[in-house]
Amino acid sequence: MAETLIRFENVSKVFGHQTVLSNITLEIKKGEIFGLLGPSGAGKTTLVKMLTGLESLTSGMIWMGDTSVPSISLMQRIGYMSQSDALYHELTAYENLEFFASLYGLSGKQRNQRIHHVMEIVNLQEHLKKTVRNFSGGMKRRLSLAAALLHNPKLLILDEPTVGIDPILRQSIWNNLRNLKENGVTILLTTHVMDEAEKCDRLALIRNGGIIASGSPENIRKSASAQTIEEAFLTLGGAGHEN
């Protein structure tokens, strides 16, 4: 059985009088692609932001291995790609990656090698000197993925990584993710795209701040007597169901 990398233990988040997440308990295994599936406002982004340390917990605990989150020492092991591209549009792709590499403490020959390597991973190596303002939306998403990979993270957190891009580019990004998984990277992603959820090793279905089902896509479908994850989501959308 695969080793557990991430543990969420009774995690809750309250903003004012609004409960955004309620008693989330979840394990993510080392070397898997784990998806958080749910509609906008379900709490997916808040959950991953708490894992990265960008959002505080109201209650509960998050562990990465034996270390509780947030932890400065863990940041070098995590690559994070947010929903909105944190890129400098007036700079070239190379200049953007130079900046992010400096934040990770990469310099000299190592920095240059990593920049070229991650641009090859996302198939943008021919656009290194192009100004980002001239990139398409899909190219910006891939450049953001490259930036998240610069420091060779063991955990890659992707918030809606394929939002707003066409099916061909989406497939390209998924090919990249599978290759990263084969190289030992654990991937946690959020999505509201049902067919994308089917490509994950395991899923947690989130609605109204709570988990309504978790497990492999196949087992979730079986538990709901459903043909698709979308049908399972609609069937299980009330009471919690753990698999």
144-164 pLDDT, tens digit per residue, is 999 999 999 999 999 998 877
pLDDT value, residue 176: 86
Any idea where the domains of the chain sit in the sequence?
Answer: 4-84+154-235
Tokens of 72: 């400065």
With both helix axes pointing from N to C terminus, report the angle between 108-121 and 137-149 in degrees, rounded to the nearest 10.
140
pLDDT value, residue 1: 66
Q: What is the pLDDT of residues 161-207, one digit of tens each?
A: 887 778 888 888 898 899 999 999 999 999 988 888 999 999 999 99
Beta bridge pairs of residue 28:
6
CA 22 – CA 11 distance, rounded (Å): 7
Confidence of residue 241 (pLDDT cuts 50, 70, 90): very low
Size (the chain), residues: 243
CA 158 – CA 189 distance, rounded (Å): 5
**Top-confidence residue, 237 or 11:** 11
**Is pLDDT above 70 for 243?**
no
Q: Taking residues 34-44, what's their average pLDDT?
A: 93
Question: Does the structural domain 4-84+154-235 have CATH classification 3.40.50.300?
Answer: yes
pTM score > 0.75 for this model? yes
Which alpha helices (H) appear in the chain, and where do they start and end?
44-52, 93-103, 108-121, 137-149, 167-182, 194-197, 217-223, 229-235
**Is pLDDT above 90 for 43?**
yes
Report the Cα–Cα distance between both ends of the chain, in Å, rounded. Answer: 16
Beta bridge pairs of residue 158:
81, 189
pLDDT value, residue 201: 97
